């Protein structure tokens, strides 16, 4: 056994234990009896402590020192890149600081939830200030003199900097804001109304999951409060939710999570339980969920097929034809909440958070000014005022649990999806004819071969560049959105 073999064997066990911890998380949201929560917290903490001990295990340092990456093949070198990055990250952060962050963010999530329920930002502000202070300290340790926010981004999107995103998002904001205003001034498509049996929603949602290539033999669909995808390799489970008056929430949550899950399921099986065996970054992950959900799932062609399926499942539900249905699916509405936003407005929500959290990290924005900054920016971009903190600065859990640098990956994913969609459409000129039959196989196969199969083999931007044939840019997404929404709104 070489040092590399030893390290990979150790890493394989760590990956397997990580999958176990992930499955506990799935169980907690779907199956766990409610009274089990205190015990589960101890079980999770014990698993976390096992995983942490493996991350700082001194043998890993010895193996890393003994391995000359240049003697390895491309897969070996990619494995080493992931393992070294993770080990160095852990080594840079003092253990005491990591413990303080873990304890604080665990408590902060509860404080945030209470403040949101009470619509009282001031009740959360001191805690948020503490979180920011500790996360900045962590960022400084990670950056080692470099940019603190870039160091945070690297946790979610290695290879992308704050400056990259500033340029990209800066180009997007005026276009999206103007398109949004134009669309909102026009007469929109009808809103869906009526009541849709939740059992029938779940039945159709399972059909949709299969239609998008989700392998049920290596996964399952359950209900949960928040839709999510969980696990890698041979056991990738998704959840969705139902609401009698809003079947689109169920269907598009499912398709979105199938995008995440299919990515995990379609990674080269040779990478199972190695660092290459899961999605390479948050942005690339989101590119898959978004292209499944939007560019494919909300396309004119696919919604035409879905219209028929919904009529079969629910009878006449008051939408007259496929064109009207396409409009209804893509209707641009009012709203304050990111997770409920339509395809056009979604990125405006993210851009706002990116600018604010970056300013919080640099110190250009203080927590005491955050609520006003949020409200001003929201009104500027959306044209109406935030009515209460739970519809504004308190709506997302992310900052309370210390996730800074995470929000922008949502929009980066949309940008990547735009690039991939352009290339995919070129490669598959007959795609719409297939989608109109509910057949997504050409699209999912193209994404499987060009993106998903690689897992962690390439760096995130390289994955997109190889698949799209050019460097990532916001231009395809913007062009796609303009064409789509001008068409729907007859502009």
136 sits near its own copies (criterion: CB under 8 A): no
CB-nearer residue toward its own copies: 74 or 217: 217
Task: Please report, as residue ranges, which positions from 351 to 380 form the binding site for its own copies (by CB under 8 A).
Answer: none
Query: Binding string, 245-274, against its own copies, x = CB under 8 A?
Result: ---------------------------xx-
Min separation Cβ 223 and its own copies, Å: 13
Answer yes or no whether residue 95 interacts with its own copies by CB under 8 A. no
Does residue 233 bind its own copies (CB under 8 A)?
A: yes
Nearest distance from residue 215's CB to its own copies, in Å? 7
Min CB(35)–its own copies separation in Å: 4
219 touches its own copies (CB under 8 A): yes
Closest approach of Cβ 277 to its own copies, in Å?
10
The 3 state secondary structure assigned to the chain is CCHHHHHHHHHHHHHHHHHHHHHHHHHHHHCCCHHHHHHHHHHHHHHHHHHHHHHCCHHHHHHHHHCCHHHCCHHHHHHHHHHHHHHHHHHHCCHHHHHHHHHHHHHHHHHHHHHHHHCCHHHCHHHHHHHHHHHHHHHHHHHCCCCHHHHHHCCCCCCCCHHHHHHHHHHHHHHHHHHHHHHHHCCCCCCCCCCCCHHHHHHHHHHHHHHCCCCHHHCCEEECCCCCEECCCCCCEEEECCCCCCHHHHHHHHHHHHHHHHHHHCCCHHHCCCCCCCCCCHHHHHHHHHHHHHHHCCCHHHHHHHHHHHHHHHCCCCCCCHHHHHHHHCCCCCCCCHHHCCCCCHHHHHHHHHHHHHHHHHCCCCHHHHHHHHHHHHHHHHCCCCCCHHHCCCCCCHHHHCCCCCHHHHHHHHHHHHHHHHHHHHHCCCHHHHHCCCCCHHHHHHHHHHCHHHCCCCCHHHHHHHHHCCCCCCHHHHHHHHHHHHHHCCC
Binding mask 271-290 for its own copies (x = CB under 8 A): -xx-----------------
Q: Which is nearer to its own copies, 3 or 272 (CB)?
A: 272
Compute how many residues bind its own copies; rule: CB under 8 A: 38
| Residue 397 in contact with its own copies, rule: CB under 8 A | no
Contact with its own copies (CB under 8 A) among 89, 184, 206, 220: 220
Stretch of residues binding its own copies (CB under 8 A), selected from 9-17, 282-290, 298-306, 383-391: 9-17
Could you list the active site residues? 257
Q: Binding pattern to its own copies, positions 20-59, x when CB under 8 A?
A: x--xx--x---xxxxxxxxxx-xx-xxx-xx---------
Q: Does 465 help bind its own copies (rule: CB under 8 A)?
A: no
Q: Under the rule (CB under 8 A), what is the footprint of its own copies?
A: 12-13, 16-17, 19-20, 23-24, 27, 31-40, 42-43, 45-47, 49-50, 215-220, 233-235, 237, 272-273
């Amino acid at each position: 056994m070489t040092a590399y073999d030893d390290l990979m064997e150790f890493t394989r066990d760590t990956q397997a234990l990580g999958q176990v911890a992930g499955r506990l998380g799935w169980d907690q949201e779907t199956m766990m009896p409610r009274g089990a929560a205190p015990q589960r917290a101890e079980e999770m903490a014990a698993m976390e402590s096992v995983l942490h001990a493996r991350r700082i295990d001194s043998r890993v340092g010895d193996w890393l020192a003994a391995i000359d990456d240049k003697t390895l093949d491309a897969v070996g070198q990619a494995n080493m890149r992931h393992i070294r990055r993770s080990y160095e990250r852990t080594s840079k952060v003092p253990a005491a600081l990591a413990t303080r962050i873990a304890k604080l963010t665990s408590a902060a999530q509860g404080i945030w939830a209470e403040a949101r329920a009470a619509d009282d930002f001031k009740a959360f502000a001191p805690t948020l200030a503490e979180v920011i202070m500790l996360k900045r300290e962590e960022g400084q340790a990670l950056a080692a003199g470099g940019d603190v926010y870039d160091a945070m981004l690297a946790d979610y999107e290695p290879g992308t900097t704050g400056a990259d995103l500033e340029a990209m998002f800066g180009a997007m904001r005026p276009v999206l804001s103007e398109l949004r205003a134009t669309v909102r001034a026009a007469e929109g498509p009808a809103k869906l109304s009526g009541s849709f049996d939740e059992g029938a929603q779940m039945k159709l949602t399972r059909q949709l999951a299969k239609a998008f290539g989700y392998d049920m033999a290596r996964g399952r669909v359950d209900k949960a409060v928040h839709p999510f995808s969980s696990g890698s390799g041979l056991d990738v489970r998704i959840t969705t939710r139902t609401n009698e008056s809003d079947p689109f929430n169920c269907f598009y949550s499912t398709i979105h999570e199938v995008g995440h899950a299919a990515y995990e399921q379609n990674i080269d099986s040779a990478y199972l339980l190695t660092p290459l065996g899961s999605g390479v970054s948050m942005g690339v992950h989101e590119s898959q969920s978004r292209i499944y959900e939007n560019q494919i799932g909300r396309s004119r062609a696919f919604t035409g097929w879905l219209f028929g399926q919904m009529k079969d499942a629910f009878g006449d539900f008051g939408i007259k034809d496929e064109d009207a249905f396409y409009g209804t699916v893509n209707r641009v509405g009012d709203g304050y909440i990111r997770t409920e936003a339509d395809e056009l407005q979604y990125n405006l929500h993210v851009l706002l958070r990116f600018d604010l959290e970056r300013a919080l990290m640099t110190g250009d924005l203080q927590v005491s000014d955050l609520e006003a900054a949020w409200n001003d920016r929201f009104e500027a971009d959306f044209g109406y005022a935030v009515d209460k903190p739970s519809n504004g600065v308190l709506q997302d859990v992310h900052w309370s649990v210390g996730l800074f640098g995470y929000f922008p990956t949502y929009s980066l994913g949309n940008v990547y999806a735009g690039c991939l969609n352009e290339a995919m459409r070129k490669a598959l000129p007959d795609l719409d004819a297939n989608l109109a039959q509910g057949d997504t196989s050409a699209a999912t196969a193209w994404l499987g071969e060009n993106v998903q199969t690689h897992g962690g083999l390439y760096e995130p931007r390289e994955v997109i560049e190889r698949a799209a044939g050019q460097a990532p840019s916001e231009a395809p997404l913007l062009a796609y959105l303009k064409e789509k929404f001008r068409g729907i709104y007859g502009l």
